Structure 1
Amino acid sequence: MTYTIEKIAKAIGASAHGEITLTVTSVAEPANAERGQLALAMKPEFAAQLGEGRAEAAMLWEGADWQALGLKAAIISPRPRFAMAGLSAMMDPEPQRTAGIHPSAVIDPSATLGADVTIGPLSVIEAGARIGAGTRISAQVFVGRDAQIGDHAILREGVKIGARVRIGARFIAQPGASVGGDGFSFVTPEEGAVERVRDTLGAQGAAQAQSWARIHSLGSVQIGDDVELGANSCIDRGTVRDTVIGNGCKFDNLAQIGHNVVIGRDCLICAQVGVAGSTRIGNNVVLGGQTGVSDNVFIGDNVITGGATKVLSNVPAGRVMLGYPAVKMDKQIELHKLLRRLPRLFGDVAALQKGVSKPRGND
């Protein structure tokens, strides 16, 4: 599709400048942009690359001198990265699917489908499932018995939704995401080595080989509105009560949420994060990539963890954490600086020891 600079700016709440009737069909990075594309020069360092491309229009930051950059037109936003949300939605080339059910889809007669639902090839909708209006289900998707999915959801290829899972409106699941698998719950007939290590913080005692008995997951999963799951991310069902995900949470690829976990509103869970069972997470929490969270801990509102942080105990609201085990980020950086100085410190100590132990001459 073709858009004028004026139309784009109006749609995303930005201001249009110059030849506002100039048209573009797509977006590009400044150095690669051709005529007819909108260059995304949202920072001065990006704008410096405009001369390498052929763009006549660009999205710029507030206060940018678009004329000095040699442009015919510009879209200026006080927060260009946020404006990208609306711009990317306009420019998304994914074709709009027409409503309909593919002949190869298997849908139980007792399932309920809302208006304008699309169901792709080889998908399965089990008995009692309820699919909200306008939902788009791609190929090879499974929706389990008595599951509920709200209006205008998008389930990409290979998504699996387990039995009794309840999901709100505008849910998005990227390829391979799984909701409602059983939790990782196993127990030995007698107290095992793992339990003793947990109690003693290291000592196994007289460990005996034992087989693991499976604890079945009787709960399910509740997911609020406007939640998005990344590719191959997993949310396990609860053991007795449900696992709960609040409104507005966003999960990156390969995130793993264990049984009985409760996550508040508008949390950002980055790639390869693992949250162990029965942990509670507050609102507006950001867990950086590869963060690991131990079981049965509490993380307060507005906590942020850096990449690869390992949370082993409760974290009060508002903390910024880093490291293994997690400590306040400024403290972790201080510890890292001290660690780097250790070789020099050992060298100084060795020199002092040598000086002290050197035999004295006769007085």
Structure 2
Amino acid sequence: MAHSVKEIAAALEAEAFGAVDIEVTGAAEPADAGATDLALAMKPAYAEALGQGQARAAMLWAGADWQALGLEAAILVPRPRYAMAGLTQMLDPGEGWEAGVVHPSAVIDPGAELGEGVTVGPLAVIARGARIGAGSVIGPQCFVGVGAEIGEGCTLREGARVAARVRLGRGVILQPGAVIGGDGFSYVTPEVSAIEKVRETLKDTGDAEAQAYARIHSLGSVWLQDGVEVGANTTIDRGTIRDTVIGARTKIDNLVQIGHNCITGTDCLICGMAGLAGSVTLGDNVVMGGRSAVADNTRIGSNVVLSGGTKVISNVPDGRVMMGYPATKMDTQIELYKYQRRLGRLFADVAALKKTVLKGGKSD
């Protein structure tokens, strides 16, 4: 679908200049842009590649001299990356499913309720008592369990799984392979286990006898509030007694593990391969970098940032930026890294001093 430069600028509440009636059919990086593409040259360094492509129009940073760049038209935006959110929404062709169509191979229990305009893809399964809100899309090979509730305007991509009694608010997006509502990893031994003793004493297990683990069943479920997005192959476990809760507008990347009983605040950002052990609580606006992890029964305050690879084993107050393992304030951790890099030189200096002392103060 083609859009004029003027139309795009109006939708983004941005300024358009030049031949604003030029129509574009897609977006591209400057060097790859064709004549009908809108080049995304949102920093001066990116604009240097405009000459390698054929773009007639580009999205540029505020104050850019678009004419000097050889363009016929331009859209200038004060926050280019934010403008990309609106632009990509306009240009997104979607997954190609016709709205309101239920594929004949889908299996839908007679006791399920589908709202107006619900789309159901091939080989999807919707179980008894499930309720699907108006305008939602249940993609190919998806599963919606008994009594699950899917809000209006949700999108379940290919192979997403929503277990029994799970609740999804409005506008929730599940990427391919996401699993919402698997049982929590909860087991207990008849007698005090070796690992329980280790946690109490911080000593070796010794000759502790092995015991069989009894399963603690998960009676709770999962509630994803409005606007939550969950990445591909991410798993969110149901609660033991109460629900696991993901706060409104929280965005979760691919390959993330969220354990039973966890609660996140609103507008959190949890990056790829991060992990929350059971009963972790996150405040609002928490950012967890890739491969970061939080130990069980730990509370992370609001506006906390965990840099990539950070491992948290104790509570973190509001507003802290944490790094490393065990996690400490980022500025402290960076100082520690500096000291580590200097250790070789320090050891060499100490060895030289010992040599001098042993020689009675005479240096070589």
Instruction: Provide TM-score, normalisation by structure 1.
Output: 0.98
- Give the Cα separation in 2 of the matches to 1:170 and 1:61: 31
Aligned length: 361
Q: CA deviation at 1:13?
A: 1.3
CA contact (8 A) 1:30 1:47 kept: yes
- Give the Cα separation in 2 of the matches to 1:71 and 1:227: 39
Aligned to 2:84: 84
Aligned to 1:40: 40
Partner amino acid for 1:93? P
> How does 1:47-86 map onto structure 2 within 5 Å?
47-86=47-86
Which moves more between the two structures, 199-208 or 323-332? 199-208
Q: CA deviation at 1:57?
A: 0.7
- Give the Cα separation in 1 of the matches to 2:346 and 2:47: 46
Q: Deviations over 1:243-289 (max 9, x none)?
A: 01110000000011000000010000000010000111000000000
Aligned to 1:114: 115
1:144–1:63 distance in 2 versus 1, CA, 3 Å:
same
Partner amino acid for 1:30? P
CA contact (8 A) 2:56 2:72 kept: yes
CA contact (8 A) 1:196 1:205 kept: no
Aligned to 1:23: 23
- Give the Cα separation in 2 of the matches to 1:360 and 1:181: 70
- Give the Cα separation in 1 of the matches to 2:339 and 2:38: 48
Q: CA deviation at 1:360?
A: 7.1
- Give the Cα separation in 2 of the matches to 1:220 and 1:98: 29
What SS is found at the alignment partner of 2:83? helix
Matched, 1:215 2:207: no
Aligned to 2:246: 245
Aligned to 1:98: 99
Q: CA deviation at 1:306?
A: 0.6
> How does 1:289-304 map onto structure 2 within 5 Å?
289-304=290-305
Aligned to 1:158: 159
- Give the Cα separation in 1 of the matches to 2:360 and 2:291: 55
Partner amino acid for 2:350? V
Kindly report structure 1 stretches of 4+ aligned residues shifted beyond 3 Å: none
Q: CA deviation at 1:104?
A: 1.2
What SS is found at the alignment partner of 2:219? coil
- Stretches of structure 1 lacking an aligned partner (at least 5 in a row): none
What SS is found at the alignment partner of 1:60? strand
- Give the Cα separation in 2 of the matches to 1:120 and 1:201: 53
> How does 1:154-303 map onto structure 2 within 5 Å?
154-303=155-304
Aligned to 2:141: 140
CA contact (8 A) 2:99 2:135 kept: no
What SS is found at the alignment partner of 1:16? strand
Partner amino acid for 1:345? L
What SS is found at the alignment partner of 1:337? helix
Partner amino acid for 1:23? E
CA contact (8 A) 1:24 1:36 kept: yes
Identity %: 60
Partner amino acid for 1:84? M
Q: CA deviation at 1:96?
A: 5.1
- Give the Cα separation in 2 of the matches to 1:96 and 1:76: 34
Q: Deviations over 1:149-200 (max 9, x none)?
A: 1001000010000111111000100000000000000111111111111112
- Give the Cα separation in 2 of the matches to 1:248 and 1:202: 43
Q: Deviations over 1:188-220 (max 9, x none)?
A: 111111111111224324311111111110100
CA contact (8 A) 1:300 1:318 kept: yes
What SS is found at the alignment partner of 1:76? strand
Partner amino acid for 2:101? G
Aligned to 2:309: 308
- Give the Cα separation in 1 of the matches to 2:315 and 2:361: 56
- Give the Cα separation in 2 of the matches to 1:206 and 1:300: 40
- Give the Cα separation in 2 of the matches to 1:58 and 1:167: 39
Kindly report the root-mean-square deviation, in angstroms, between the aligned alpha carbons of the 2 structures. 1.1
- Give the Cα separation in 2 of the matches to 1:241 and 1:98: 35
Aligned to 2:4: 4
What SS is found at the alignment partner of 1:353? helix
Q: Deviations over 1:34-84 (max 9, x none)?
A: 111110001111111111111111100111111111111001111110010
CA contact (8 A) 2:38 2:59 kept: yes
- Give the Cα separation in 2 of the matches to 1:292 and 1:212: 25
- Stretches of structure 2 lacking an aligned partner (at least 5 in a row): none
Q: CA deviation at 1:100?
A: 1.5
- Give the Cα separation in 1 of the matches to 2:3 and 2:241: 52
- Give the Cα separation in 2 of the matches to 1:207 and 1:350: 44
Instruction: Provide TM-score, normalisation by structure 2.
Output: 0.97
CA contact (8 A) 2:97 2:119 kept: no
Partner amino acid for 1:137? I
